[in-house]
Structure 1
């Protein structure tokens, strides 16, 4: 079947369709919206993408994305250096920062252990974490990893690697979400909520 648009537009659609959550149809709609509003959306987006490609880098300390190294969080003297929160990817860091509930520092692993995907310990930034946790200023490492099989496998591996670092290793509480109805929750969430119960 012949392409409905020129090669430049088809390339744009193909690239957009590689983004998470965008399939070919959504990518076509997004491309059309951008092209219809070229001056208001397409040109500023292209400029922002070019600027990000030029300036954004990975923080050599924690693995976050920023325009400077070390990143703004690692360089912030108001952050508690005694606490390191370990996340799978930068998206987890951004989610915790949105909540504004954590004032320590972060460590981005860069993925999870996964036998199916062929991702072993050498693919993650665990060695760097162990080195950071061995610093006398660090008291606690919080594992904020997904409640999935790969997430829990990774959490156990990281905890084992930190066993001799002289720090407390904790993980996020799991259970009933705020506003959650018991009859809508899965068995695993309910079981975890019962195990993590606390005084009322």
Structure 2
């Protein structure tokens, strides 16, 4: 009986260190461009829009946490591009952005413990799905990603809180890889790459698993 009680108390203590986070934010537009010459270039914009996601966070200590999270945005990338043969085109690409990140958080508590500030660095990857609606061609790229975030959690109860957050996410350019914008057609494609930076403002909900209301 004593062993069972000890096990139950240990499970409850572990559960109360776990949080479920739900996110929603508005992502602002981001411009991109790449120029080889006046006749070989591309330029465009990743349109802003709604980003949603969720994560599981574990408290290493009251002031430190680590989270695995997923964020998703479905948007468009209107792009103008030209090739060395003198052709110029405009295409409004369909773009899906999927971030899978590992995030560390440093927390700071107000005196009444109802408000909890936090900030930290995120590392992970972005899986980008790109489709040309004109030709029907599609492609996918997986890139290393990093991010920064700063926010606050306002606890409505012991178990439920409201998040307010500012965030920056970036997919890093590297040799031989990146985001491809082009038709894929012979003589008309643009095989250059661009790093993106996405700034967002939003928030969400947080639930402490195992905490009493």
Q: Same fold (TM over 0.5)?
A: no
Structure number with the higher helix fraction is 1
User: TM-score normalised to the size of structure 2?
Assistant: 0.25
Structure number with the higher strand fraction is 2
